[in-house]
Amino acid sequence: MKDLAITLDHRPGALADMGDALGRAGVSVEGGGAWVANGKGVAHFLIADADEASARTALEAAGIALLAVRDVLVQRLRQDTPGQLGLLCRWMADAGVNIEALYSDHANQLILVVDDVAVGRAVSRAWSQSTGSATTAGGES
């Protein structure tokens, strides 16, 4: 899985334009979020690895700024256990991994965009083993 980091104009319809462009290109959004920061639209959306080239082309053609395409970590939290998010984030921090974006996918899995994917994967695996949670194949990309 890949994370698309996108900036959008802060105006009605900017997000719709992005969604339309990806849809016309056959790119399915699997999760993500969008918000306004410092007067600019900021979005992170999850797509399948195979859709990266189509997404790049579609966004460029629509005049939408694609800041980065990055690998992600995919982690399932144990929803019945309070503190899972804090615990996982603490393990990442203790390993020196900075979490740059965090959101959920449509399967209620946690998506993390981190500054060091290799170390983040190792932390995610160790954390999963210690808590009985699961990482998914997407976390291995």
- pLDDT at position 135, please? 57
- pLDDT at position 24, please? 96
Same domain, 56 and 25: yes
Same domain, 66 and 103: no
Query: Which is nearest to 1 in space by CA: 129, 90, 103?
Result: 103
Same domain, 104 and 59: no
The burial class, CB within 10 Å (0-12 / 13-18 / 19+), for 46 is buried
- pLDDT at position 140, please? 44
Q: Which of 70, 96, 119 is at the close of a domain?
A: 70
Assign residue 31 the CATH number of its domain: 3.30.2130.10
Same domain, 55 and 9: yes
Same domain, 54 and 77: no
- pLDDT at position 79, please? 82
Task: Return the residue matching tokens 């995919």.
Answer: 74
Same domain, 62 and 97: no
Same domain, 81 and 63: no
Residue 10: domain span:
2-70
User: What domain count does the chain have?
Assistant: 2
Same domain, 130 and 106: yes
Residues in Cβ contact with 86 at an 8 Å cutoff, skipping those fewer than 6 apart: none
Assign residue 134 the CATH number of its domain: 3.30.70
Q: What is the pTM of this model?
A: 0.88
Task: Return the residue matching tokens 């939408």.
Answer: 64
Query: Would you give per-residue pLDDT tens digits along the chain (141 residues)?
Result: 999 999 999 999 999 999 999 999 999 999 999 999 999 999 999 999 999 999 999 999 999 999 999 999 999 888 888 999 999 999 999 999 999 999 999 999 999 999 999 999 999 999 888 877 665 544 443
